[in-house]
Amino acid sequence: MQKNTKLGWVGLGVMGEPMCHHLMVAGYPMSVFTRTRDKASRVVNDGAQWCDAPVDISNQCDVIFTMVGSEQEVREIYYSDNGLFAADITDKIFIDMGTTAPSLTLEIMRYATERGAQVIDAPVSGGDIGAKNASLSIMAGGDSETLKRVTGLFENLGSVQVMGESGSGQHTKMCNQIVVAGTMIGVCESLVYARQAGLDCEMLVAAIRRGAAGCWSLDNLAPRINKQDFSPGFMVDHFIKDLGIALSESEMMELNLPGLSLAKSLYEKVSDMGMGQNGTQALLLALKEK
């Protein structure tokens, strides 16, 4: 993409804000919208143009990124009277970097294609750390020629793996979340066990991370747990939403994934404890409850 390509960004949360900022640092002009304007303060102060509605983003920009939470929010951002699709979207490229149901991704893609636009699904993994360090894993699906055009943009955010046609990026993200869910149970149960056995939990992590137990969650979230830091890199309530999508898609494929069901139920317990806005490492609190 040329550096004069006008970019738009919708959704400036824990991960979206630093991702948007990386593209600005790379030299691209940026227009932004997010529901809570205060979250746009840094990027606006650094030169991004604030827009009062998503439709203004579509009117002004060539490539539009979205990164919002629930299915309702995704639909509102794209389909509402002031949404992205309320503008003439001919020749626009929309890139959804949030986690969206593959079935909804295909619906959005078909709607846009009929109106002369392209949609790429490119969900990410790596949490707030990956977003801040531009080291995200990006899982992309969509039209191959369009993907070639936007690869340079992705390189400012992390590393991209093209998975296939529309929806394949989101299916890949479901696989990612299934692995993360099971791994987080193991990490948290290991630390609960270690404390009960009288082990030094920091020494434990140092010991087992070099062996077969080594993983991203152990490296990045276990130290937070040991410091009783449950601030969100990725919120529990958002993770429950993702696991719900994975379960729904699994049922449509007639799959039975008991580990996924267990993980969702445990995270729902964390949310019921009032910890839904905390990070996924707050799972430890549910496991410690008698």
203, exposed or middle or buried, with CB in 10 Å at 0-12, 13-18, 19+?
Answer: exposed
pLDDT of 290: 47
| Percent of the chain at pLDDT exceeding 90 | 96
The token duo for 239 is 């993770």
In 3D space, the residue among 50, 41, 46 whose CA is nearest the CA of residue 10 turns out to be 50
For the domain 7-166, what is the CATH superfamily, name and number? NAD(P)-binding Rossmann-like Domain (3.40.50.720)
Q: What is the mean pLDDT of residues 111-140?
A: 97
SS3 of residue 177 by DSSP = helix
d(CA 174, CA 245): 8
pLDDT of 264: 98
**pTM for the full model?**
0.94
Query: pLDDT tens digits, residue range 193-240?
Result: 999 999 999 999 999 999 999 999 999 999 999 999 999 989 999 999
pLDDT of 289: 61
**Domain boundaries, given as residue ranges, for the chain:** 7-166, 171-288
- The sign one gets for the Cα dihedral 287, 277, 222, 160 is positive
d(CA 89, CA 261): 39
Q: Which of 92, 132, 173, 264 is catalytic?
A: 173
The CATH class that applies to domain 171-288 reads mainly alpha
Q: Look up 3 and say whether it is catalytic.
A: no
Query: pLDDT tens digits, residue range 6-61?
Result: 999 999 999 999 999 999 999 999 999 999 999 999 999 999 999 999 999 999 99
